[in-house]
């Protein structure tokens, strides 16, 4: 696994399947959001962050669909921090069924003040965890 990575398991529900008998595209985004929340709770608890009036807002989401997912598939989603700079967090996602990658995605996020929407620097505690992780794995690139 890459730096600051976690995995979660999902199984599509009947209401997640579209008319073509595939997992609806929006479900991938929902699962990315669930993974991002889980990731934040592990590395920078969301409850404490929000108590300070801050939030990690998604700036951009990209998904590449490779192989269709169906109703009874067990889907493993891995979320990894690709880079954490002073102002931007880039998270990578991979979706696997039976060991095969079925989709991959990326989100860019910025920390904001919830009241005003003003962009903030990435919190020092998250940045420090990132730097510790990359010091253990020199192949990971550090953001500026």
Please give the radius of gyration of the chain, using alpha carbons only, rounded to the nearest integer. Answer: 16
At 80, is the pLDDT very low, low, confident or very high (cuts 50, 70, 90)? very high
**Domain encompassing residue 20:** 5-136
Cα 74 to Cα 6, 8, 17, 20, distances in angstroms: 17, 11, 14, 19
Strands (DSSP E) contained in the chain are 5-10, 54-65, 75-84, 89-97, 100-113, 119-120
Residue 92 token pair: 């990578």
pLDDT (0 to 100) of residue 144: 39
Q: How many domains does the chain have?
A: 1
Residue 132: both structure tokens together? 């510790």
In a domain, 141, yes or no: no
**Tens digits of residue pLDDT in 11-69:** 999 999 999 999 999 999 999 999 999 999 999 998 999 999 999 999 999 999 999 99
- The pLDDT value given to residue 38: 94
Contact 49, 60 (CB under 8 A): no
Percent of residues, the chain, with pLDDT higher than 90: 83
Can you state the percent helix, strand and coil of the chain, rounding each to 5? 30, 40, 35
- Could you tell me if residue 143 is inside a domain? no
Q: Would you give the DSSP letter of residue 66?
A: -
Question: Is the pTM here over 0.85, yes or no?
Answer: yes
The reply to whether 144 falls in a domain is no
d(C-alpha 130, C-alpha 128), whole Å: 5
Q: What is the mean pLDDT of residues 109-136?
A: 91
Provide the mean pLDDT of the chain.
91
The answer to whether residue 137 scores a pLDDT higher than 70 is no
Please identify which residue in the block is written with the tokens 């020199």: 138
Percent of the chain with pLDDT over 70: 93
Q: Is 142 part of a structural domain of the chain?
A: no
Give me the CATH number covering residue 38: 3.10.129.10
């Amino acid at each position: 696994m890459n730096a600051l990575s976690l995995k979660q398991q999902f199984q599509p529900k009947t209401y997640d399947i579209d008319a073509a008998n595939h997992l609806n595209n929006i479900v991938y985004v929902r699962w990315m959001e669930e993974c991002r929340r889980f990731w934040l709770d592990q590395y920078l608890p969301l409850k404490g962050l929000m108590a300070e009036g801050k939030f990690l807002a998604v700036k951009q989401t990209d998904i590449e669909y490779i192989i269709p997912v169906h109703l009874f598939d067990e889907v493993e989603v891995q979320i990894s921090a690709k880079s954490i700079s002073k102002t931007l967090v880039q998270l990578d996602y991979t979706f696997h069924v039976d060991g095969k990658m079925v989709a991959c995605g990326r989100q860019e996020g910025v920390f904001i003040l919830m009241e005003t929407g003003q962009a903030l620097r990435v919190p020092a505690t998250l940045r420090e965890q990132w730097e510790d992780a990359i010091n253990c794995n020199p192949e990971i690139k550090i953001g500026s």
